[in-house]
Structure 1
């Protein structure tokens, strides 16, 4: 049996949608929803909207994502554990395909589907990347030295395409905790699901590292799809920075050469690594004005980083003209970069700034 763990935080409508997508796939699944909102109105909304087949647990405070998942796991009875974000929902056949992949090899500890950013599947979200001081050091230097930055960008794009457009499951070093199916036995071997020290972010990085160190494989299955309407919200950066520091202190020496080099380069102002067409401040998607008559393998990357690490990917037969509205609405205030690769191999580079919303 599968036990599904979902953590709600002021998102009852999305949570109900996530639950419905699970039960449409497996009516016998055990679904456990932990409400982290610490708000009576939100709890009442969940009680009124959730099916009786979902168990609702009201947390006495905002436990954070990891601790709330651990609380749900205490009541889970399934041999397989599905972690699902409230802003994600399964597409038909996803759950069955993930189960099939886990059954193929007892050494697979966890498997994830490919994540669409939008329902239409225009953009695919990038695969995970295991975070280490060496990797972060390379990125920090790459932002200051264009030749290294261009090489890293090319390598990550190639890695993403090989993973997202593969014809069979691909081994990974990192999977997203927003949509991951795990063996309960693997969780037990590595000492539990999430380290409660992580309030939010990096708890899945820590889990994946523990699984790999214990000898388990992590797989991404491109035959399984989930829609994850991930919202780029700069407000979350502070939580992510604290979690990153905790993760690095736990797994790596703070005095390592890579860590020292990273600190040296990460605060430098990066020079322009390429000639971007700057659209300035945008409240609507800019138009790229690319030749629509050229048919071929067009690629569009969208990223909050000029190296396009990470980047959402779109692949299609005609030139992309703009960012579709369903994705644009998920972009919070920040600077964004887009790279369009032409069928002939040339690239067009764009950037723009989405401002903070005006106060009412």
Structure 2
């Protein structure tokens, strides 16, 4: 592979980010020109200074560049700014790996992902297998959201899933396999693919941005792969605490507004306003079935708290902005703020 860069986006988890950088030192043997961009997404808690100090103190300045941002623009925006910084240097690396600060790369993980990109010339992205500290696997590869899937998510009834032949969202595999999309917590992207499709859509604040990117990669003819040989220890949503790292599904606690807004935007970009509305209606129809079941069995688990009310308030009726793509081209142009911060 002709060059690799790694991007780590921190938000108020400086200790994890520093540990994440330290875990990459061994990979420099396999990738002598490895570059790391350590982004701070407007944490405002001293994180940026602590990360910069650690870089200087540990002698990492030769290969790690801190990039403090003024605003918390979200995962998509922060990664885009780091990629633009890499582009300012002229020649881009062949691949860019995104590693969450709450993830720790095991020896050989980056090499396994790079090897897959070398073997599969049409692979635009390859995701690692996330694991717990004890080696137990976490959900790392997934099927795309669908309207039928939203109906089943609302109904939470296995019999309906079997009747509609809706497979599990998470994909488990013992060896490398092509999949619809992989987690953005540990993924390697081919730069040539990003040149064709553009970067992350910064109309997303958090969640669904990697799903959207991989949808666009596949639409452009690139493949997305999951490589279980690449193992990355993952603390699981240290900054947000939204998803269960074992299943990849939302925790039962109430989801934040931005989750619903990103969910709505994903469906709107993938299929237009009608798809976003249909996905919301499908969830409500399924939820009505679950409510009826709960009248009979009050102890049934209802999933995320107030999910139906919050979806009704934030997540089913798309705005004009939702159907407007906002993925910048790969290049050196950096931006002050993401498009989701623009006035309506």
TM (normalized to structure 2)? Answer: 0.71
Structure 1 distance, partners of 2:291, 2:164, is 15
Residue number in structure 2 paired with 1:218: 224
Contact 1:111/1:180 (<8 A) preserved: yes
1:17-36 correspondence runs (5 A):
17-26=19-28, 28=32, 29-36=34-41
Deviation at 1:304, TM superposition (A): 6.1
Q: Structure 1 residues 146, 107: CA separation in 2 closer, same or farther (over 3 Å shift)?
A: closer
Question: Which position in structure 2 is the counterpart of 1:112?
Answer: 127
The residue aligned with 1:230 is: 236
SS class of match (1:48): helix
Bigger strand share: 1
Contact 1:134 1:258 in 2 (8 A): no
Does the CA contact (< 8 Å) of 1:47 and 1:56 recur in 2? yes
Partner residue in 1 for 2:135: 121
Change in 2 beyond 3 A, CA 1:72/1:146: closer
What is the CA distance between 1:23 and its match in structure 2? 2.3
Count residues in correspondence.
273
- Alpha-carbon deviation of 1:263? 4.6
For the aligned residues, what is the CA RMSD?
3.0
**Aligned with residue 80 of structure 2, among 70, 79, 88:** 70
- TM-score, length basis structure 1: 0.68
Q: Say if 2:268 and 2:274, in contact at 8 Å, map to a contact too.
A: no
2:21 & 2:182 partners in 1: Cα distance? 21
Where does structure 2 lack aligned partners over 5 or more consecutive residues?
87-91, 243-252, 305-344
**Any stretches of 5+ residues in structure 1 without a counterpart?**
281-302, 306-360
**1:16 is the counterpart of 2:9:** no
Structure 1 residues 146 and 110, CA, compared in 2 at 3 Å: closer, same or farther?
Answer: closer
Number of the residue aligned with 1:176: 183
Answer whether contact 2:41 2:73 (CA < 8 A) is retained.
yes
How far does the alpha carbon of each residue in 1:58-109 deviate from its partner, in whole angstroms, 9 at most, with x for none?
A: 1011121111100000122311010111111111110111111110121111
Say yes or no: does 1:244 pair with 2:250: no
CA contact (8 A) 1:133 1:252 kept: no
Q: 1:19 to 1:258 in 2, by over 3 A?
A: same
Give the structure, 1 or 2, with the largest relative contact order (CA under 8 Å, sep 6 or more).
2
Q: Which residue of 1 aligns with 2:171?
A: 160
